[in-house]
Chain A
Amino acid sequence: MERSLRALLGARESDVVTVAATARESGFVASMVLFIVGAAALVASIFFPYWELRLNAPQYPKGLFLTVFIDHIKGDIREIDGLNHYIGMRPLGAAAEIERTVAPVALTAIVLMVLALAFVHRKWFAPLAIPAMLMPLIFLADMFLWMRHYGQNLDPSAALSGAIRPFTPTILGHGTIGQFSTDARLLSGFWLATAASVLIMFGLHFRRTARIAAARNTAAA
């Protein structure tokens, strides 16, 4: 237990070594590079779509698209909203407004935390990586909750409320609602964030091994 905790959080107080000693370790350089690249990937992800929903119906031969970025949505919003009003679903623009508004600020903060981690090698800085590593999961969970909220809270006075019961939209893969079939998939923004997560995880690993090695060298000296 203690070993695994140590593995996660890095060396204990007794393992403390000098900055100079740590910096000499190649693992430290590797971790710094991984943190920086991870941070860059996270920053880049803001410019790429995270998720896309395609709605298919006979009268829309090209399909209708909803594309979600971390800070905005685009695609055939007006048309999808127009269709949704028949079943009493609220306009898409009103969903996750706070999340989308704070996303750039929050992402900046998360990235700064990772960069702090890259340049400051105190072991208790390690938890700073957690928000960045959880970004993809937070995104998915938030979207799922909103979609479920939207699907479950339909206006009962809508024209087709008798025909379409409250439902939870499928957020990954294939689904069906009314005459529409839906295909949802994760896109490059999400994969960038995931890559960032993995890179930072490896960064933590190398940071820890570098610290242990440095401690060992110090002890030997």
Chain B
Amino acid sequence: MKRTLQVLMIAVLVPMAVFGCRRQDVDTSGQPRAEERSAEQGDDSDDARPGGAVAGNVDEIASARGLSPDDVKAAVMTYNPSGKMDEYIQFASGGHGGQMLVIGLPSMRLLKLIATFTPEPWQGFGYGGEAGMAVLDGGNAANQELRWADTHHPALSETAGDYDGQFLFIGDKANARLAVIDLRDFETKQIVKNPISDGDHGGMFVTPNTEWVVEGGQYSTPLGGAYAPMSEYKDKYRGHITFWKFDREKGRIDPEQSFAMEVPPYWQDLCDAGKLESEGWVFCNSINTELATGKADADGVNFESGASQNDMDYMHIVNLNKAAELVAAGKTTELNGFKILPLQTSIDEGVLYFTPEPKSPHGNDVTPKGEYIVVGGKLDQNATVYSFKKIQAAIAAGNFETDDYGVPLLPFDATMEAQVELGLGPLHTQFDDKGYGYTSLFLDSAVARWTLGGSYRTDGAEPWKLVTKTPVQYNIGHLATAEGDTVSPDGKWLVAMNKWSVDRFNNVGPLLPQNFQLLDIASGGVQMPVIYDSPIGVGEPHYAQIIKADKLKAFETYPEIGWDPQTMAVDPDAPKAGTESVVRDGNNVTVRLTAVRSHFTPERIELKQGDNVTLHITNIETARDATHGFAVSVHNINLSLEPGETETVKFTANQPGVFPWYCTEFCSALHLEMVGYMLVEPSSAAASVR
């Protein structure tokens, strides 16, 4: 009896102890528990709100505001209550604002503007911080500090033809540059200037594993900044397609490993990299195969008609793998220290082919499986579809005609698979997961849905056929569907990037915002309604890509205190709590500061006029959103120090006087007290008066 009791006792107590341990998960991260965090985040899995039941007076509200049932449905489809996250993130170029826009879908809310080619004070980009200044200076050219850009076509990095959410590339049409943005912190890490050209348009497009970033040229000039009169246009002017080698490990473009193909002086336009079946090939459009040189006087022919005389321009078909082999084998020349694959070499080695395409084409878009290329000819009413297999067959057949420069010209009938009559001004095409293409129609101000053929047609619908058109407001340029230019489009959401908004928004003066319109493409068939208008008042976006939000794994704060965003590693010399100092060595003064709510350490810097000041500052916070600014009056200095970040500023204390500096982020209740004084003692009494 006693023995039974004892055994029973042990049998009960031991499991209790073990159970007790398991119930409380051990906190190994030192952070709040994951399940408690996610439980409070309003992500998609959050089902705390009751669905279905609608508050009683919605009908009254809708009728008072003049909203139709479709309007109410659109509102319900796009509305995000506080804390609910968007399902997709759209990266849109900021046009001649020179920045990148980050927009959530379906809410269409602007989440962030990423400072890219242009100084941006909120992010402290270009206002004293050494890292940002160095990135901007990387894009300088022709003895100019280039501080604006015309950003056109962003490209997300890809792995196996799918967005991987790691990097973002964006081209600058105005100056032939590209920028690399690291999506761990959404900051620009590198700007690279094309050494042989000062203009482009066909960038950026990446190969399926982001080995290469493609930059097609645009307005041909003598390459490398040389001079030649326009009378020598045909002989001395050249176009280019530049292939930038991306070093994913370093997160940087490697110009040493990059090269440009010399091409005839047509105006190259948009490109796309082949994928799957067509991987290793690149396709670019061109315009002005007429070699028009513009109207210099009253009798000339202007470009708009001179460059539109031919019915057909040339699609450029590039065997990139072969080009890379030739470059590796040293079959290049050098211009301004940059490798060039000469036109004749490309012709001789079978790297470059042309095939006719309807004139003034724009989009040049490879279908998800890589077997077709869709070209929108702006002055044609068809989307023209080329078959990669037919292109290969035409190349194999040989016996080419050539253009004036000797480039093999593959006959249109031999490479074309289908022409789909869509309407006026077809421009850019993306895809869904059900075998449909979506093409913007600039002149019609509409989006067309049409059937692809071949292996995409399993539903019995007639291939290569217009299904429906939705009017958009107005003058649509590019469009983007969710992951719609990858190997696996999602078939959700389409954003029409309209150039004109005319009467869509409140009048804000004669410069109008652009209009991003969200279309619901998931319902299929002839249904493709516009469900949201979003004004873009910061530039003229061109192209965009839409990535599933859960592919992005950005830092919430920098991983460690003293993080240098430029090297993406901890700077061992970064000031930390307890190591702050002001050290004078002759007239060189090194200041090591920390910032934490709500004070800087130290708070006083005493300088002498003419001192060379190097200032290192670390935000030693670890809390999410605890960003501090560092703004010095009348010195054009403003840093944004995100939690953990360290920055360096250098300046010469030329101006004597007393200069308070302060934190530009409203960081805490004692934000106004987060201040310091920089005193610059005049070198003589007279100099103290400004």
Contacts and interface: CB of A to CB of B under 8 A. Distances in A.
Interface of A: 26-27, 30, 33-34, 37, 41, 44, 47-49, 60-65, 67, 74-76, 78-79, 82, 86, 159, 187-188, 191-192, 195-196, 198-199, 202, 206, 209
Contacts of B16: 195
B81 interface: no
Contacts of A159: 598, 670, 673
B13 A198 contact: yes
A65 B20 contact: no
B65 interface: no
Give the top 3 A-B pairs by smallest Cβ distance, nearest first: A188-B24, A30-B6, A195-B17
B30 A191 contact: no
B3 A75 contact: no
A65 B597 CA distance: 19
B35 to A, nearest CB: 11
Nearest to B26: A48
A64 B32 contact: yes
Contacts of B23: 188
B21 interface: yes
A37 B6 contact: no
A220 to B, nearest CB: 17
Contact of A62 (B2, B17, B32): B32
A64 B673 CA distance: 25
A34 B10 contact: yes
A192 B2 contact: no
B24 A49 contact: yes
B180 to A, nearest CB: 32
Contact of B40 (A34, A61, A82, A198): A61
A188 B2 contact: no
B14 A37 contact: yes
A62 B14 contact: no
B70 interface: no
Interface string B20-62: 1111101100111100110011000000000000000000000
B490 interface: no
A49 B26 contact: yes
A40 B688 CA distance: 75
Contacts of B32: 62-65, 75-76
B9 A188 contact: no
A160 to B, nearest CB: 8
A74 B597 contact: no
A26 B6 contact: yes
Contacts of A196: 17
Given A63-B36, A67-B27, A26 B17 contact: no
B596 interface: yes
Contact of B20 (A26, A47, A74, A191): A191
A123 B17 CA distance: 28
B209 interface: no
Contacts of B7: 30
Contacts of A198: 13
A79 B622 CA distance: 7
Given A30-B10, A195-B17, 10 more contacts: A27-B2, A30-B6, A37-B14, A62-B32, A62-B36, A65-B32, A75-B31, A79-B623, A82-B597, A202-B9
Contacts of A187: 24
Nearest to B596: A82
B260 to A, nearest CB: 50
Given A64-B32, A159-B673, A199 B13 contact: yes
Interface in B228-248: none
A183 B250 CA distance: 45
B30 A48 contact: no
Nearest to A34: B10
Nearest to B6: A30
B621 interface: yes
B481 to A, nearest CB: 33
B615 to A, nearest CB: 23
A27 B10 CA distance: 12
A48 B21 contact: yes
Contacts of B10: 30, 33-34, 37
Counting chain A CB atoms within 10 Å of each CB, the highest count among B2, B597, B598, B673 belongs to B2
Nearest to A188: B24
B20 A188 contact: yes
A192 B21 CA distance: 7
A26 B2 CA distance: 9
B382 to A, nearest CB: 53
Contacts of A30: 3, 6-7, 9-10
Interface string B592-616: 0000111000000000000000000
Nearest to A193: B17
Interface string B72-116: 000000000000000000000000000000000000000000000
A172 B621 CA distance: 29
A34 B670 CA distance: 57
Interface string B666-690: 0000100100000000000000000
